[in-house]
Amino acid sequence: MSSVEQTVTPKSISVFSLFSPALLPATLMLGGGVALYAVEAYITATIAPSIVRDIGGLELFSWMITLFVAAGVLGSITVATRPRGVGLRTVYVAAALIFGAGNLICAIAPAIQVVLAGRAVQGFGAGMLAALAYAFIRFVYPQPLWRKASTLYAAIWGVATVLGPTLGGLFSQGSAWREAFVILVPLAGLMALSSRWLLPRVDDDRAQQKTPVLQIALLLAAVLLMSFAGTIEPISSKITLVAISMASISAMLAIERKSANRLLPQGAVMLGRPISRLYLTMFTLMMVLTSDIYIPYFLQTLHGVAPLVSGYLVALVALGWTLAAFFSASFSGKQAGVSIIVGCVLETAATASLILFLARDNPSGDLALLGPAVVAMFLMGCGVGLGWAHLVTKVIGLVDSSEQDKASAAISTVQSLGGAFGSSLAGVIVNSAGLADPGDITGSLSAATWLYALMALPGLIAIAMSLTLKPVSA
């Protein structure tokens, strides 16, 4: 038994065990990687208008997010498909350096095209860092702490939704957006340098296979098409891109099912296998959650809420995720299984309830009408937070050691896919329901009603899948 395992007993297990002297260095490195990805995504979303005002390129505005997301998916895949014999610690060094290089490119960019190149490099490194956090869990922590580490990573994403825009706001004037990228360059360099001492050296125990190039290409095409669909206005074009994206996913899954050279763990595309249902649960949870992107607009249009206040109110979704993640962190066995089910039900019900609470004409901001909508937003996040860490732990513990890198990397991939599909689908729904035409109160009421009615439906899939999952072991 290792010294770490000796210090972690069932009675001493808590999230704070991750910060014990023996585990603190690795926790800072792995949690820091997730934080860089999460916070940077929200910082750039905040400073993007300043970038195009300063150096132009409004017509390419949407690609700053699209390329980051697509490159992030490729980065997470790279962790599992890296060359044979390359250890995780070496990949971490490369990921931190790539992320730093991407920030430097953005900081010195003279034109929007260079910023886009930097965002792609940045996203690739960030995607690797996020996937590495899950890949390292089994090597850094004793098994009783896997769920706690997953809880911490989930909480970081929740905090980032508030911290990112706040930090971005500090750099949103004039050319100050360059400093938002510059400050992360030395941090990335420090993380790359420190990883040699703070992260363990682990053997590459993956099974020998070739890189599944075709599946990766189809998956990236799907992400790019879906992300782009969320940025264009014509409804027919949106629907076409979504359809092609779904066809790409279907083709990838069909190839994955028959190929011996797989991108995902064995059984991940066969609904009869538990790991497939785990990934599908995670995917649909993220799809439903991204319906929150239109909450600030509806709060301002229908309830007379000020823009700044609406931004902080929607942050309650992230707060709910974070608090629920910590609340359920100590659950195991049947408790953890119930937590996943309750979380899926809670998120779905809270989303559907916005049909009644948010899709209301309340220009005076009457608290009797607005209050229930605010509670529903908080409960949406709680639903995901209750079960996410347990789903992650189940994925990592379910596969053989030779496929655990694939399984870990797929967690970040599924999370990104769920967000991309959800945001694009939400855009198709609201525009089809009249958000822009006829617009105003009538259009907003129709759009909000249809959005939360249809976006709650994937939650029913999550509930159905969660009911088939066996209890998460302690």
Classify domain 266-474 by CATH number. Answer: 1.20.1250.20
Residue type, 143: Q
Other Cβ atoms less than 10 A from the Cβ of 205: the count is 12
Show pLDDT as tens, one digit a residue, over the chain (474 residues): 344 444 444 445 677 788 888 899 999 999 888 888 878 877 787 788 788 888 988 777 778 877 888 888 889 888 888 888 888 899 999 999 999 999 999 999 999 999 999 999 999 999 899 889 888 888 888 888 888 888 888 778 777 766 776 677 777 666 788 998 998 899 999 999 999 889 988 877 676 677 888 998 998 898 888 877 766 777 788 888 888 998 999 999 999 988 888 888 888 888 889 999 999 999 999 999 988 888 888 998 899 888 667 767 877 888 898 899 889 888 888 999 999 999 999 999 999 999 999 999 988 888 888 999 999 999 999 999 999 989 988 998 888 877 877 888 888 888 878 887 887 788 888 888 888 778 789 999 999 999 999 999 999 999 999 999 876 444
Classify domain 22-201 by CATH number. Answer: 1.20.1250.20
Other Cβ atoms less than 10 A from the Cβ of 111: the count is 12
Residue 363, exposed/middle/buried by CB under 10 A (0-12, 13-18, 19+)? exposed
Sequential DSSP letters for 55-110 = H--GGGTTHHHHHHHHHHHHHHHHHHHSPTT--HHHHHHHHHHHHHHHHHHHHH-S
Cα–Cα nearest to 278, from 138, 414, 128: 414
User: What pairs with residue 472 in β-bridges?
Assistant: 333
Cα–Cα nearest to 217, from 269, 271, 263, 276: 263
User: Whole-angstrom Cα distance, residue 90 to residue 136?
Assistant: 12
Residue boundaries of the structural domains of the chain: 22-201, 212-260, 266-474
Cα–Cα nearest to 222, from 242, 207, 202, 208: 242
In this prediction the pTM is: 0.81
Degrees to nearest 5, angle at CA 74 with 70 and 78: 170
